[in-house]
Chain A
Amino acid sequence: MQVPRFLITSEPLAVERLAASLEQASRHVDEGCGAVCTFVGVVRATHKGQRVQHLEYEAFEPLAMKVFQRIDAEVGAEWPSASLGIHHRIGRLSIGEASVAIAATSAHRAESFRVCRYAIERVKQVLPIWKHEFFEGGDAWVEGALADVDDEAARIRAHEVACA
């Protein structure tokens, strides 16, 4: 069951399939796989005190796929025996639906936690995807980080959070 490691999709996410696929691929590489860490971001019912009705995500897809490769290369340089996958949903999402699914595998648990945390921090910093929130009686684009893959200070912050 081969699942692409990096994916932007308007279909519902399935973190179990991503995790199983990564585990299978890393099972017989080097030491093998002894840990799978997953993170799923889901649509929250409130944002800054306002009641969210639904969200819409928009991506600059060709650039987002390159950013995935960049994050993967950063992980490879720092944690060479780990393996990473990230799936991000786009389009309209309801409360409770998964917007992002991340899986990280490694021989031992510590690395898998770090890689998973590092990946979500980098997604927040640099992935060219935008969240449009719809409230009762209004809507707003969420504006987070100024995307800059070469901002070394941001990358180091993500690394520090991952290793805290």
Chain B
Amino acid sequence: MRVTVQVFARLRELAGKSEWQCEVAPGATIGDVWKTSAGAYPALADFSRSVSCARNEDFARMSAPVQDGDVIAFLPPVSGG
């Protein structure tokens, strides 16, 4: 199945793009989407321990399952204010 991946801020710069499609196996989790993405864009891997994620514009856990057509966002540590 296929999901859309979005990245922001430093992750966007490291990947060189803000959005892409990612193929994952049925039953895959957000964590699997991250691993696949970090495989395609190795510069992202440094953030494996400091990334948070959202599924369809709501915060989610890396262990959450994904469905075909989901939009998965990966967020570096935030710095608003």
Contact = CB atoms under 8 A, between A and B. Distances in A.
Instruction: Give the interface size bracket for B toward A.
Output: 20 to 34
Interface in A6-58: 41, 57-58
Interface string A50-76: 000000011110110010000000000
A100 B76 contact: no
A129 interface: yes
B77 interface: yes
Nearest to A142: B79
B50 interface: yes
Interface in A94-108: 99-100
Contacts of B80: 57, 59, 88, 99-100, 123-124, 127-131, 144
A127 B52 CA distance: 12
A145 B33 CA distance: 22
Interface string A121-156: 001111111111000000001111111111000000
Nearest to B52: A147
Interface of B: 6, 8-10, 13, 50-52, 54, 57-59, 73, 75-81
Given A57-B80, A130-B78, A131-B79, 19 more contacts: A41-B81, A60-B54, A62-B57, A63-B73, A99-B81, A120-B81, A124-B78, A124-B80, A124-B81, A127-B80, A128-B54, A129-B79, A131-B80, A132-B9, A141-B13, A141-B79, A144-B78, A146-B52, A150-B59
Interface of A: 41, 57-60, 62-63, 66, 88, 99-100, 120, 123-132, 141-150
